């Protein structure tokens, strides 16, 4: 902007809380950036219009308002010649309105930078929309259909409805894709460049009593679990998986949408972790609303992360137990000042949510080793989730390694 004069106005697209706090906070921290003028395109329509019209160098918008911003400039000239997409993987769906909106104005943008720690959480099929926003299809093709035809074959699906649920990479597709994108993609792993205290993962096995185990196995085998006034019915594999995850956590929604309490085994294990923390703050990720309700009932001093004030209090160490869904605190938030203990009360199938949620504490600025505890019911779907996350992680690690930055290459350039 001011050294090479290649761009004049920069738009940063980020998750809401990251847009509100992280970018502006970081800009003020550094001598070479703190002079930059920042305008936030957030809040009400009037506030957003005011933010767009302000004289600034950098404009920050949350990703939910990308569609509004593109529509706002429909009859005007698009003013941003550079766009930075924080959490690029949130644009991985070609059907998403935010992707379609940004695609419309992509020809008017001279430079696009995408940042993400999870570029392919569900496999290489996720890459096309993200790369398209970077190069308008130069490397992986102009259409997602062409991308699939070149590099994938259909896997599981429903032929009668012409629906494919899984795309399987062709032989050597992985290497070909890596080679295509290697000139514009680099991977920088924090452990290679920063001295971090480290992280230790703990799998905490949870045993069900014989009676509770019988209920779990009955639902798993018969797809039905009767209660006094209602039943729990799982008529598809996806519903069954979801119901078993709920049951492993200790409660389950019945056919009427009511919560049926089954056991407290995970809560009792969490009691031990909280006690062992000796008063240090604990960040707990839950999966279902009934998880949250039971956690709040058991821990009266626990706080659900909802407001900006909650976020500030956590970083000051004033919240002993912070409860949040991984989707609510999964991207970009600096929470490392508040603690170093994470507990996964309810697990997520999503590698993206899992990795990003852990990175709230396991990040630059953390002064203590981060301990991540996974509460896993033995011989249950919990174990399958953990295995799935590991398999997805291995695949994504391959991609990250393939485009890993060779810093020496740029020295002296």
Q: Quick one: pLDDT at residue 224?
A: 93
Q: How far apart are CA 148 and CA 85, in angstroms?
A: 24
pLDDT exceeds cutoff 60 at 317 = yes
For the cut 70, the answer to whether the pLDDT of residue 332 exceeds it is: no
Please report whether residue 249 resides in a domain.
no
Residue 408 has pLDDT above 70, yes or no: no
**What CATH number is associated with residue 104?**
3.40.50.10810
Residue 32's nearest CA partner among 13, 51, 57 is 57
Q: 395 and 337, same structural domain?
A: yes
Do 159 and 204 fall into the same domain?
no
Mean pLDDT over the full length of the chain: 91
Query: With contact defined as beta carbons under 8 Å apart, do 11 and 61 qualify?
Result: yes
* 128-137, 242-251, 395-404: the lowest-pLDDT one: 395-404
**What is the distance between the alpha carbons of residues 197 and 206, in angstroms, rounded to a whole number?**
28
In a domain, 121, yes or no: yes
Note whether residue 253 is domain-resident: no
Task: Identify whether 258 is part of a domain.
Answer: no
- Whether the pLDDT of residue 194 is over 50: the answer is yes
Q: 381, 163 in Cβ contact below 8 A?
A: no
Residue 255 counted as domain residue: no
363: nearest Cα among 372, 375, 374, 350: 372
Cα Rg, the chain, nearest whole Å? 23
The pLDDT of residue 36 is above 50: yes
Which range, of 130-134, 145-149, 217-221, 360-364, averages the lowest pLDDT?
360-364
397 vs 84, more confident? 84
Give the range of the structural domain holding residue 163, as residue numbers without chain letter. 10-192
What confidence score (pLDDT) does residue 235 get? Answer: 86
The count of residues in the chain is 413
> Residue 250 domain-assigned?
no
Does residue 101 surpass a pLDDT of 90? Answer: yes
pLDDT at residue 404 is higher than 90: no
Report the sign of the C-alpha dihedral through residues 153, 157, 163, 166, in that order. negative
Q: What is the pLDDT of residue 149?
A: 94
Torsion of CA 304, 283, 349, 345, to 10 degrees: -80
pLDDT in tens, 227-260: 988 999 998 888 999 999 999 999 999 999 999 9
297 shares a domain with 184 = no
Q: Is residue 38 domain-shared with residue 170, that is, in the same domain? A: yes
Query: What total of structural domains would you count in the chain?
Result: 2
Q: Alpha-carbon distance 272 to 256, whole Å? A: 34
Most confidently predicted of 193-207, 300-314, 382-396: 300-314
Residue 242 lies in a domain: no
Q: Give the tens place of pLDDT for each residue, 259-293.
A: 999 999 999 999 999 998 888 999 999 999 999 99
pLDDT of 407: 47
Q: Are residues 39 and 178 in the same domain?
A: yes
On whether both 199 and 188 belong to a single domain, the answer is no
Q: Exposed, middle or buried, 296 (CB in 10 Å: 0-12/13-18/19+)?
A: middle
């Amino acid at each position: 902007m001011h050294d090479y004069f290649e761009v004049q106005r920069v738009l940063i697209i980020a998750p809401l809380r990251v847009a509100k706090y992280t970018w502006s906070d970081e800009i003020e921290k550094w001598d070479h950036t703190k002079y930059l003028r920042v305008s936030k395109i957030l809040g009400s329509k009037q506030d957003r219009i005011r933010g767009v019209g302000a004289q600034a160098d950098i404009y920050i918008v949350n990703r939910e308002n990308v569609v509004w911003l593109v529509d706002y400039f429909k009859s005007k000239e698009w003013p941003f010649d550079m766009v930075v997409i924080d959490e690029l993987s949130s644009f991985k769906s070609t059907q998403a309105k935010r992707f379609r909106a940004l695609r419309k104005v992509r020809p008017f943008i001279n430079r696009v930078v995408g940042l993400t720690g999870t570029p392919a959480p569900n496999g290489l099929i996720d890459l096309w929309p993200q790369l398209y926003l970077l190069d308008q299809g130069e490397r992986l093709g102009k259409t997602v259909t062409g991308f699939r035809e070149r590099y994938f074959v259909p896997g599981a699906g429903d032929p009668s409805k012409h629906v494919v649920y899984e795309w399987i990479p062709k032989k050597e597709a992985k290497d070909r894709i890596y080679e295509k994108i290697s000139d514009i993609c680099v991977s920088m792993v924090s452990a290679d460049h920063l001295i971090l205290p480290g992280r230790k993962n703990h799998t905490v096995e949870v045993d069900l009593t014989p009676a509770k185990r019988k209920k779990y196995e009955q639902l798993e085998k018969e797809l039905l679990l009767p209660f006094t006034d209602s039943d729990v019915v799982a008529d598809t594999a996806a519903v069954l998986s979801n119901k078993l995850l709920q049951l492993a956590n200790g409660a389950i929604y019945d056919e009427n949408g009511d919560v049926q309490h089954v056991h407290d085994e995970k809560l009792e294990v969490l009691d031990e972790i909280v006690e062992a923390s000796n008063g240090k703050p604990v960040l707990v990720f839950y999966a279902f609303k009934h998880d949250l309700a039971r956690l709040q009932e058991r821990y009266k001093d626990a706080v659900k992360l909802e407001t900006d004030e909650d976020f500030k209090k956590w970083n000051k160490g004033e919240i002993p137990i912070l409860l949040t869904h991984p989707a609510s605190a999964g991207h970009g938030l600096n929470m490392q000042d508040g603690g170093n203990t994470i507990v996964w009360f309810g697990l997520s199938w999503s590698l993206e949510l899992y990795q990003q949620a852990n990175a709230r504490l396991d990040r630059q600025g953390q002064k203590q080793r981060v301990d991540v505890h996974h509460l896993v019911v033995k011989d249950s779907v919990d174990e399958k989730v953990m295995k799935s996350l590991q398999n997805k992680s291995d695949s994504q690690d391959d991609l990250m390694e393939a485009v890993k930055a060779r810093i020496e290459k740029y020295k002296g350039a």
